[in-house]
Amino acid sequence: MTERRYFWSIVLGIFFVMVVLTAVIWMIPLDRYMDNEFASWQQQKDYVHRPGTEQEVLFLGDSVFKAAVLPEEISPQAYNLALGGATPLEMYYSLRDYLVVHPAPRAVFLSFSPVHYMDMESYHTRNFYFHFLGGRDALASQLFVFRKDGTPWRERPGLLVWDAAYLARTPMMYYRTIRESKLARDDGNRKEYERVAEARGHKFFGFADDWVASYQTYEVFLRPFVPLESLHGYLVAMIRLCQARGVPVFVLQDPMQPLDYAVISQSGYLAAYEAFMDRVAEETGVPVEREIPVFDVSFFGDFQHVNLRGAMRYSHWVRARYGEVLQ
């Protein structure tokens, strides 16, 4: 065998093994190896795409909003579609698809931590990893991000290869988690799925009593607040979806503990964020809550997410402030 033929036999052999392993991964149910966060993402996705007849009050946002909004404390028609790590990008597609198979909501409330207007840290590790969006929407969102945020051309091919590797469920993306899971996470994911569904989309995230002792300022709050144009675009697109259907839409603020609030107040971060909120209000004409609600640390289960007391306080504030809309 010549060296050339030997080389190509090795290449084709590796390719064949990769194809076989990828096919095997496709046959394994996702809930058997995905981490606990997968359950809430899948539950939300299933709920959004399942036809419904009830005219609901929707809450869309990130994990802080998901923990803070207790639907049963706000309205019998309230449903929490927020997701851990989500940005306006994921919530836009959720709302768009929801409107296809559900009646127009009575009202829509949107809220994201400032970081989720300037960072997409979970875009691949949640959105693509969990196969949350279909392939067409996933790639369309990536191309939109490239265009709006001016992603350098030299970086685009690598990101698209990464996207394709996730969408194809290749071994290089899933082998480690499959090995670590021992394909035994389905029971835990099923129970979490059922618990989130029963709570109408609500989920808590942190319950560390001593989190203040190990507190460190969230790294992103030490940087200037500069929103991504892609996320700004998806936020506005969500608002336009509601306005086109005559649905009242409100932009709220996630609760924050005073330690982080002190940092962003003194650095200029808060002023830049408030200016961004003013920009959204001006260009869309929707009510925007400009002031971030600050709760004592005793209302938080970790440095970002409220505990039960914090969720009760926030939900009761929403019910009191927007009572006429919710009735």
Sign of CA dihedral 64, 70, 75, 79: positive
Q: How many CB atoms lie within 10 A of CB 216?
A: 7
What domains can be seen in the chain, in order of their start residue? 3-326 (3.40.50.1110)
Sign of CA dihedral 190, 191, 195, 196: negative
Find the helix or strand (DSSP H, E) in which 18 lies.
helix 3-27
Geometric angle at alpha carbon 246, from 245 and 247, rounded to 5°: 90
Tens digit of pLDDT at every position of the chain (327 positions): 576 776 667 767 777 778 888 999 999 999 999 998 999 999 999 999 999 999 999 999 999 999 999 999 999 999 999 999 999 999 999 999 999 999 999 999 999 999 999 999 899 999 999 999 999 999 999 999 999 999 999 999 999 999 999 999 999 999 999 999 999 999 999 999 999 999 999 999 988 778 888 887 777 777 899 999 999 999 999 999 999 999 999 999 999 999 999 999 998 999 999 999 999 999 999 999 999 999 999 999 999 999 999 999 999 999 999 998 987
What is the C-alpha separation between 164 and 181, in angstroms, rounded? 23
The predicted pLDDT at position 192 comes to 98
What is the C-alpha separation between 236 and 72, in angstroms, rounded? 28
Indicate the pTM of the whole model: 0.94
The predicted pLDDT at position 210 comes to 82
Specify burial of residue 17 (Cβ count, 10 A radius: 0-12, 13-18, 19+). exposed
